[in-house]
Structure 1
Amino acid sequence: MNSEEADRIKAFYKSWEPTYDRGNPGFLKLLDERDARLKSLLSGLPVALARCRVLDLGCGYGSLLDLFHQQGVPADGLFGIDLLPNRIETARMRYPNFTFKEANAEDIDFPDKWFDIVTVFTVFSSILDRGMAENVARSIVRVLASGGIIVWYDMRYPNPWNRNIRPMTKHRIRELFPSFELQLKSLTLLPPLARHLGHRTDSIYPLLATVPILRSHYLGLLRSTM
């Protein structure tokens, strides 16, 4: 495992808590848009969510797993791992019936082929070291059941103001998951733009979000072709 890269990621996210976003209309709008698209994706899956096990890598405070719970995944089928102990502690308090572990995703301590769904939301863009990214990808493939899916959400553009992240283009995703079919669509109005919409958010956000070049992330599914 790459402990140096893991320590860099931990230090960055320990110092980075975007409190200015929590009440920002544009930021809340992009989250609503993302979650609505995710719910639509989940409703179209050929599996019964009530019988699924879900693993969220980089689970933060557990809110994504709660969305899966609301869509029908039982509490005992929801698992999250994160590098930051304070986030795991908070997640456990918020969602005591889910399972959370402080862990490095290079070495996922779960059985082979155990999860029906693995979610990776803004995970790989945070990993600058290629070796670590490849290790995490291999771990995901190992714990993913036959016919399982990866639910992906990550940025496709670089952020010139943040050197701690890198864009996840389709080319880079294919390099990490060569045996998977990418079913991804662009989503999310550029966050710096969305945050400045203010009271005009509800009317302007949908219009700007129709312009492909202004959509900063990919959301969708990775399906194994093996």
Structure 2
Amino acid sequence: MTEQEPDAVKARYARRDAAADEARYSLYGNAAALQAQQERLRAMVRTWADHGWPSLGSRRMLEVGCGSGGNLQDLLRLGATPACLTGIELLPARAALARRLLPKDVTLLEEDAVHANISPASQDAVLAFTLFSSLLDAGFRHQMAQVLWRWVAPGGGVLVYDFVVDNPGNPDVRRVPLQELQALFPKAHLQSHRLTLAPPIARRLPAWMVAPASQLLRPLRTHRLTWAVKPR
């Protein structure tokens, strides 16, 4: 049932090996993770610059499922103002770590995003990074998409970074193809970029080969960064 999905997400994350996750996604000494982050940031900057945003300084931006705050830290490095940023995280341990790492002016909410008290049309951008792939209940996916869309101001958008292929080694995630994103945000204009060399391949390559391999092996990219723009 849709109402049970947040508890199911908590249970799925509780089964994961926290130490293995930290090693897999740490940027230090991890060429595959570092390349994926840098490639994603370049695509974000290009997308928002093409959208007519010369800077992020005054943009109100919110991330759902902010984890320990890594993406919010990236927004700060790109010039976002701490007081304009909000993160929502369902898992208490991750929310606590984000609070320790982020500036105090960043708003952090520890709760189910569906019930968060966010004003309609109050955000220029809402980030959903590997969020929808973690929601296995189709009804809850649609409910979450409607909530995120309601928060976005006209002329803003939802920025989705997620899997477009299934991971046979992880039954706790499900791919989110471009066609489904259009169905989740039927009134949006989508701008999308295929990114991220398949991590199992990238992790096996020497560090110096990861970036050129990502360029040469475009059919083996496993994620999309999609900017779903709300009409003015």
Q: How many residues align?
A: 224
Hey, what does 1:106 align to over in structure 2?
A: 114
Hey, what does 1:53 align to over in structure 2?
A: 60
Hey, what does 1:30 align to over in structure 2?
A: 36
Post-superposition offset of 1:42: 3.3
Stretches (4+) displaced over 4 A? none
Post-superposition offset of 1:146: 1.1
Letter aligned with residue 79 of structure 2 = G
Q: TM-score, normalized by length of structure 2? A: 0.89
Residue identity (%): 32
Of residues 22, 25, 28, the one that matches 1:19 is: 22
- Is the contact made by 2:167 and 2:174 (CA closer than 8 Å) also made in structure 1? yes
For the residue of structure 1 that corresponds to 2:146, the secondary structure is helix
Hey, what does 2:7 align to over in structure 1?
A: 7
Q: Do residues 196 (structure 1) and 227 (structure 2) align?
A: no
Q: Please, which runs of 5 or more residues in structure 1 have no aligned partner?
A: none
Post-superposition offset of 1:2: 3.4
Hey, what does 2:135 align to over in structure 1?
A: 127
The separation in 1 between residues aligned to 2:178 and 2:80, in whole angstroms, is: 29
For the residue of structure 1 that corresponds to 2:216, the secondary structure is coil
Letter aligned with residue 63 of structure 1 = G
Deviations 1:158-186, CA, capped at 9 Å, x for gaps: 01111111000011111111111110010
Q: TM-score, normalized by length of structure 1? A: 0.92
Q: CA RMSD in A?
A: 1.8
The separation in 2 between residues aligned to 1:204 and 1:84, in whole angstroms, is: 32
Hey, what does 1:223 align to over in structure 2?
A: 229
- Is the contact made by 1:187 and 1:215 (CA closer than 8 Å) also made in structure 2? yes
Pairwise mapping of residues 92-171 of structure 1 onto structure 2 (< 5 A)?
Answer: 92-95=99-102, 96-171=104-179
The separation in 1 between residues aligned to 2:222 and 2:159, in whole angstroms, is: 17
Hey, what does 1:72 align to over in structure 2?
A: 79
Letter aligned with residue 210 of structure 1 = L
The separation in 2 between residues aligned to 1:186 and 1:91, in whole angstroms, is: 28
The 1:44–1:68 alpha-carbon spacing in structure 2 relative to 1, beyond 3 Å, is farther
Post-superposition offset of 1:81: 0.3
